[in-house]
Structure 1
């Protein structure tokens, strides 16, 4: 059985070889961390025998490399996932104008059908078209068409009311 000092000397003596393994695995920027983690993991084991010590060090380094590579691959897959990408922001003023316009339509357009009110309410609350499309089960072009239709009908109703008010006075 090895003493702690003998085990540490063996670890330090094999540092270059273990570093080469990590580099061949493609983790150039993490060489020191992986080798150090392997040293710490091996040194915390209760009994160290000289016969399998080198194989133990290599196994610990290899497994650590596999864990890092797997987590990096998962991270890359998540970064490429379309649902996790931030939504395009566009012009902030455009969102504010849409919200104000939707609030105005809700107050002044008279009687609207429930889907129209629901959609305008979502716009006035600050939801993006993509979010409205996801919740309603429609595509973005369908949501755009519905919003344009609601605005057009509200504008026509408002113009008729304004025209009637002008003619009465």
Structure 2
């Protein structure tokens, strides 16, 4: 007789979608789900960890999302020091540094700016225990992407990646 594993405790850690890159996002499908806003993590989601300039390809991609009617916001646990060029590139959108994800306050601030409810918003990030968990706690649609450059991550992130892999096995 086999045992069935209860995934309820993990439901807040499992993303709604798992993609290789932000470029794999299906904007049409998100719109059909009622998603009107997208919050992006910065490091290892939109660029390598600690990037100080937005790549043109990524900027074009974000502008395309905006042209399709999505409100965009950016949420990072980084302190933002040396990120002035990134902030300037995305100045028309809410951006919160030192967000202390998975705390809800940063997500809520962007939702308030969007004037949207959590179920109308998607979070896109590369980490389960910060980006995805924080979004799911509020009832947002959570999309996990593979890290842009996993070899550049610090030790604490690499340590957490081991546990992420174990949890993501249940998603399959």
* TM-score of the pair, normalised by structure 2: 0.19
When Rg is computed on C-alpha atoms for both structures, the one with the higher figure is 1
Q: Specify which structure has the higher proportion of helix.
A: 1
